Chains A and B, each alone.
Chain A
Amino acid sequence: MMIWLTGLLRRRTGRILGTAAGIAAAVALLATVGSFLSTARASMTARAVAPVQVDWQVHLNAGADPRAVLATTRAEPGVAVALPVGYAKVPALSTQDGTTVSTTGAAVVVGLPPDYRTVFPGQIRDLGGTGNGVLLAQQTAANLRARPGSVVTVTRPGLPAAQVTVDGIVDLPHADTMLALDPAATAPPDNVLLLPATTFTTLFDPLRADRPDLLADQIHVRTDRRLPADPGTAYTVSTGAAHHLDATLAGAGQSTDNLAAALDAARSDAAYATALFLFLASPGAALAGLLTATVVAAAADRRRKEQALLRARGATARQLLSIAAVEATVSGIIGAALGAAAAAALGSLVFGDSGTAAWSAAAAAAGLVIAAGTVLLPAGRSLRTQTVAAGRTGAARPRLPLVLRLGVDGIALVGAFLVLRATTATGYQLVVAPEGAPRIAVDHWAFTGPALLWIGAALLTWRLVEAGLRFGRRPLTTLLRPVAGPLAGTVAATLQRRRRPIATAATLIACAIAFAVSTAAFTATYQQQAEVDARLTNGADVTVTATPGDLTGGLADAIHATPGVRHVETIQHRFAYVGADLQDLYAVRPATITGGAHLADAWFTGGTAETLMHRLEQQPDGILVSAETVTDFQLQPGDQLILRITDPRTGNPTPVTFHFLGVVNEFPTAPTDSFLVANQHYIAGKVGDGPSTHLIDAGGHDPATVAAALRAAIGPGPAITDITASRTVIGSSLTAVDLDGLTRIELGFALLLAVASAGLVLALGLTERRRTFTITTALGARVRHLAGFVAGEALVITVPALVIGAGTGVGLAQVLIVILKGTFDPPPDRMALPWTYLIVLGAAMVAAVAVTVTGVLAQTRKPRLALLRDV
């Protein structure tokens, strides 16, 4: 029995290897994308926590002993460094310049221990002066018109005012957490003065006895960050540790977990990444499975004969099934092993990580399932329908398959439409992650949309091709005349009767093309949005922000003269009071702004970027405001809006009248909350110039190089950032995950699948008809006659497949973009189509078809007389 089996399997080597190759492709795709996913998750965790400076902030409760709490915190497992920070609320800060006195409103004074900036290097960014000693926040410096060397008077309730000399001007990128005086604080204070701990103690210890309400103590903690790779698990671990500390402190303090807050966003991104994986990889794996099934089915005839022969020799149905089972297992194991090895090789080549064992195992299991489905199932079925005659009626008058007679295609498409309408409804979210909730929910219903679309589109392709061939013989004859000449009618007749295998082939190829096109369009859009995201954060290729107080125009000229700079667009960053609300105001030159910054239409409401900038240009006192501001102030277009803008020349907030023009949601360098955009010229005329931000178009040069050149040209004062740097620091948003490697693998795989399906399906269909071609040749057909048959079939299969497949692909990409809109911030204006890839795909398809057709023709040129002999 064993010998018999091995002998049998040896004779099936080709078939087994063919099946194994298909399975290997599916396994490789699943395993590669899977290990990309785990790498991506780990990098999301890393990216999420990287910008976090202070992991935990322990807010001491009134009456707690700071030393004891500090000691307890330092002893807590997982705590790397813990530093005490003091806060004092003061009614005002002021400066005097000659006779002019500038005064701020309420301010916060912070006392920092000496090594604070070493431990938390990203908390404080120098903008001018020295980074040690007395530091003034940028906005406060602007309000006080202070610069290094200025003397600031600190008002102390119940005590004489104290004076300190400013050593430096700083930016506080993490002001919202750093200056949160209690765990529930929402907005950071407007005015901030940082003091060395010793100075702070000297100034404010005398207040402790009388006004403890004005003082607060915190402990800023950096943890050892030994976190699990997955953002979700990391979130749970970090939250748990922070809670443990709170429990240990027993009411003496309460911690804010900044680390968990950062991971909270990342874990919903991780859920999106998983969804992305499912959307992008599973159709490919399914397609590889289908292709395998097609290869196996091509041998169905031979299998049936073989089974009949073995049965005649006395083999039982069970024995025949066990042979098929062995064949399935062997091809499954070979395929899974090859696929896993290929994935490991690809992974270490592209991601520098050969993937996880779990993913390889899961993918291999999927491979075995495919093997069972493609080999075992048809073998069992053919055992049940043992009539050889039934197998011979290849080109009968084919009936429509049951699924189409039942109208499953229509049902699936309607279902897809309904699901998609539900998912595109406003407020829909694929991933629901209530802030702080221990678990996040993924809406699995969303997956049915694309799945139904796939099924519906595939079946509709089948129906269309089948119907076209069934009813379109006359037009088909006309269309085939150029390739088939007088044989056009005969070729059309053949194609009409072969409509079932042709429709199957066209459907498979259309699916492969749809997969390639949708993957390409989706990933291109994704990358486009990652670019937009980076641009939005940085404003332009390179951004130079002048030191506050530097209002000279000399900087722009210096920038212009730097090599690599194509265009410089200057916007001025001001602050303006809208009622009591202080907002960022961007003073722009609407006529030229698009030269340096790329404005996306999605950033504006009620018009494209261009039309709104044009309107702003037309109306000097026009202003664009955030949607919240429109709601808050009940603004109607044309409404008058009076802002108070600080005039740097006098230091006084001056009322300036604007007219509401439109809504802006995002703007280069702007914060995520409310801000304003108005005409630079108009504002400068009313309240003088403000500090400039120069948006630089590097004109195709490497932004990092241009940034370095600028640094050399303009010295250390102004802050210079380039887009490549911001691409790597943008939060943990999924668009920041580098999809490059995955994209290359996915697109390569899609291309391979499309080419393989076109070549294989055509070749299988045509070799199945070798006998027909031999007879035709024996009857006197020339190569050109056969070419008519072969090319006719190739065209009838590939042209509809290309057209329908491309259409379906674009549709699917659109659907994915809609469903995964949560991954895009901001949402895309339009889908990006990667033309190069699509052209390569088309060319590769054409080449595959051409090679197959010429190959088949070369084979039929010399009639295989042996084929004439068997009945």
Chain B
Amino acid sequence: MERGATVFVGTHLSRTFGQVAAVRDVSCRITATDRIAVTGASGSGKSTLLQLIAGIDDPSGGRAAWPALDGHPRRRPGRIGIVFQSPALLPTLDVHENVALSVLLAGQSAGQARRAASEALRLLHLDDLADRLPHELSGGQAQRVAVARAVATNPDLVVADEPTAALDSATAAHLLDVLLSTVDRLGAALVLATHDSTVAGRMDIRWPMADGTIPTAKASS
């Protein structure tokens, strides 16, 4: 992707659940190769904002747009890679199949999916685990598989919701290394929610969330 291309623009985004306003009037911009840390207390709306950015949830107010992806990501699956707060692997698929599934859903053929999955697993040094089932993995391994799944489609944007929250610091650091090097190689933007200041410290930009809003940052670079 072109350097400096705008991957996401949110204008006055809000998302309410009944009485609760999880995200309130957030305007933001993400460009290619941005490394953004979304921080904030529990319940401040990080996950909700990330879901809006990833396009898996629709804002109650405001507008979300993905200029560089020309269109809504739900219509163009695979352009955004998602790492959920929990690994969220499909229990009935082995590691390779889990990774290949996202490629298949992006519209690739079965053969392409197989190759892309093998490639992603190799990059994350997960080759040995390829035919394990999710319940046969450790938490860190599972989260690495989730990262592999997120990057296997060569996305332009990777959205990761506290990918290291359940891991010890060494494993967390390793996972972050892998994630950063992968998005570097892909030239993709990365938005990552975290409580952890060391993790946040390795990012270029920090969006501190409080009560559903980002008081300072409006846009990046």
Contacts and interface: CB of A to CB of B under 8 A. Distances in A.
Contacts of A781: 77, 105
Interface string B108-142: 11100100000000000000000001010000000
Per DSSP, chain A at the interface is: helix
Contacts of B101: 487, 490, 776, 779
A173 interface: no
Interface stretch (B59-67, B80-88, B171-179, B212-220): B80-88
Contacts of A488: 110
Given A493-B97, A772-B90, A776-B90, A486 B77 contact: no
A868 B50 CA distance: 13
Going nearest first, the 10 A-B pairs with the smallest beta carbon separation are A780-B77, A494-B92, A497-B92, A395-B92, A780-B105, A395-B91, A871-B86, A778-B56, A775-B88, A779-B102
Interface string A857-871: 000000101001111
A498 interface: yes
A267 interface: no
B110 A486 contact: yes
B135 A396 contact: yes
Interface of B: 47, 51, 54, 56-57, 73-74, 77-78, 82, 84-86, 88, 90-94, 97, 100-102, 104-106, 108-110, 113, 133, 135, 149
B30 to A, nearest CB: 19
Given A392-B135, A772-B92, A777-B56, 10 more contacts: A393-B135, A395-B92, A486-B109, A490-B93, A490-B100, A490-B104, A493-B92, A780-B106, A785-B105, A865-B57
Contacts of A489: 97, 110
11 contacts: A393-B135, A486-B104, A493-B93, A497-B92, A498-B92, A780-B77, A780-B78, A780-B105, A782-B77, A785-B105, A868-B84
Contacts of A869: 47, 85-86
Interface in A190-236: none
Contact of A494 (B78, B90, B102, B135): B90
A12 interface: no
Contacts of A637: none
B86 A396 contact: no
A778 B82 contact: yes
A397 to B, nearest CB: 7
A868 B100 contact: no
Interface in A396-435: 396-397
A186 B47 CA distance: 97
A398 to B, nearest CB: 11
B82 A395 contact: no
Interface residues of A, number: 31
Pick from B51, B54, B109, B110 the residue with the most CB of A within 10 Å: B110
A493 B94 contact: yes
Nearest to A477: B110
A772 B91 CA distance: 8
A61 B100 CA distance: 101
Given A394-B91, A497-B133, A776 B86 contact: no
B121 to A, nearest CB: 16
A322 B108 CA distance: 55
Interface centre among A394, A488, A489, A779 (most CB of B within 10 A): A779
Contacts of B105: 487, 776, 779-782, 785
Contacts of A776: 90, 101, 105
A494 B93 contact: yes
Contacts of B54: 778
Given A779-B101, A868-B84, A869-B47, A396 B133 contact: yes
Contacts of B133: 395-397, 497
A781 B106 CA distance: 8
Nearest to A394: B91
B55 to A, nearest CB: 9
A488 B109 CA distance: 11
A490 B47 CA distance: 29
Interface in A465-498: 486-490, 493-494, 497-498
A493 B101 CA distance: 11
Contact of A490 (B57, B91, B97, B135): B97
A778 B92 CA distance: 17
A497 B136 CA distance: 14
